């Protein structure tokens, strides 16, 4: 018997969560991200491929803002937990650097080599490691993530080293993912869906900005709205920001802009 989610079968869910299929020239967009990221690394001193664990992808890049005792902005990339590399997104560091953050770009193991349980644990290890490395930055971290990274950031908002969270275009209820093609490499278990759906596990944590492009797919917008509302209903500090004129991918350009809507709202939040 076919399982439906909000009236959608697997084919409809595949379409609803197909972000790359709803932008013009997605391969060209990623190439542009990579070109700009390469230029950012070439033009900005930093430390690259630092280790936070023993796994091949348990590594991160560190870009300093040049200010003593700067706080740290940690960015976790997306890719449905099964694609992309930290090097694809270095360009986003321009915005946080201009606001006086040192920037960490994190990487983690991907499905199917890693399970959701393993990926979530890796991000926890990253945060534990960074909390013990004062030379990388001081004070509470701003934990940011995009898409699957937004999901991982939201899950770790209760980590003691995290002072604020920017969850961008995230996936806060894993049930629809478990019912569509994105689950084929993940093979989510019912226990993982329940344990690792941020909307089902709202507890005490850092103030959070839940952001998305106003031109995102309807399901992504619904997930962001529902999660922000559920956090507020639970008494947790969460603001919703829909960035005008931005889709699931170019919302990252807004983050790279020092005067962009997300960094402006994050500053007002206290991040």
Number of H-type helices and E-type strands within the chain: 11, 8
Can you tell me which residue has the tokens 């902005």? 73
Q: Report the half-sphere exposure of 157 (CA within 13 A, side-chain side).
A: 31
Can you tell me which residue has the tokens 């940690």? 74
What residue ranges define each of the domains in the chain, with the CATH number in brackets?
Answer: 10-265 (3.40.50.1820)
CA nearest neighbour of 202 among 157, 248, 252 = 157
pLDDT band at 271 (very low <50, low <70, confident <90, very high): low
> What pLDDT does residue 1 have?
63
Pick from 1-5, 121-125, 235-239, 260-264: least confident: 1-5
Verdict on whether the full-model pTM lies above 0.85: yes
Residue 106 has phi, psi (to 5 degrees) of: -100, 155
> What pLDDT does residue 195 have?
98
DSSP annotation string for 188-254: --HHHHHHT-GGG---S---EEEEEETTS-HHHHHHHHHHHHHHHHTT--EEEEEETT--TTTHHHH
pLDDT (tens digit, 9 = 90+) per residue, 203-255? 999 999 999 999 999 999 999 999 999 999 999 999 999 999 999 999 999 99
What mean pLDDT is predicted for residues 63-77?
94
- Residue 270 confidence (pLDDT) above 90: no
Q: Note whether 154 and 177 are within 8 A (CB).
A: no
Give dist(CA 242, CA 49) in Å, integer.
Answer: 33
């Amino acid at each position: 018997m076919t399982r439906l989610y909000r009236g959608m079968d697997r084919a409809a869910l595949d379409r609803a969560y197909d972000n790359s299929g709803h932008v013009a020239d997605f391969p060209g967009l990623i190439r542009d991200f990579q070109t700009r990221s390469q230029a950012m690394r070439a033009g900005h001193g930093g430390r690259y491929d630092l280790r936070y664990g023993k796994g091949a992808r348990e590594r991160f890049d560190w870009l300093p803002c040049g200010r003593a005792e700067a706080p740290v902005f940690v960015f976790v990339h997306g890719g449905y937990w099964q694609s992309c590399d930290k090097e694809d997104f270095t360009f986003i560091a321009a915005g946080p650097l201009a606001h006086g953050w040192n920037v960490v770009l994190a990487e983690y193991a991907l499905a199917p080599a890693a399970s959701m349980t393993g990926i979530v644990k890796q991000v926890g290890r990253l945060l534990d490691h960074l909390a013990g490395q004062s030379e990388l930055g001081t004070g509470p971290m701003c934990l940011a993530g995009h898409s699957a990274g937004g999901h991982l950031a939201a899950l770790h908002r209760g980590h003691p080293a995290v002072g604020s969270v920017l969850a961008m275009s995230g996936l806060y209820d894993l049930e629809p993912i478990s019912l569509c093609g994105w689950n084929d490499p993940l093979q989510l278990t019912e226990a993982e869906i329940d344990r690792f759906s941020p909307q089902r596990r709202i507890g005490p944590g850092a103030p959070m900005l839940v952001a998305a492009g106003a031109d995102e797919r309807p399901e992504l917008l619904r997930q962001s709205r529902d999660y922000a509302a559920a956090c507020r209903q639970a008494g947790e500090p969460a603001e919703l920001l829909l960035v005008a004129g931005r889709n699931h991918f170019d919302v990252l350009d807004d983050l790279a802009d020092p005067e962009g809507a997300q960094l402006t709202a994050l500053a007002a939040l206290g991040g």
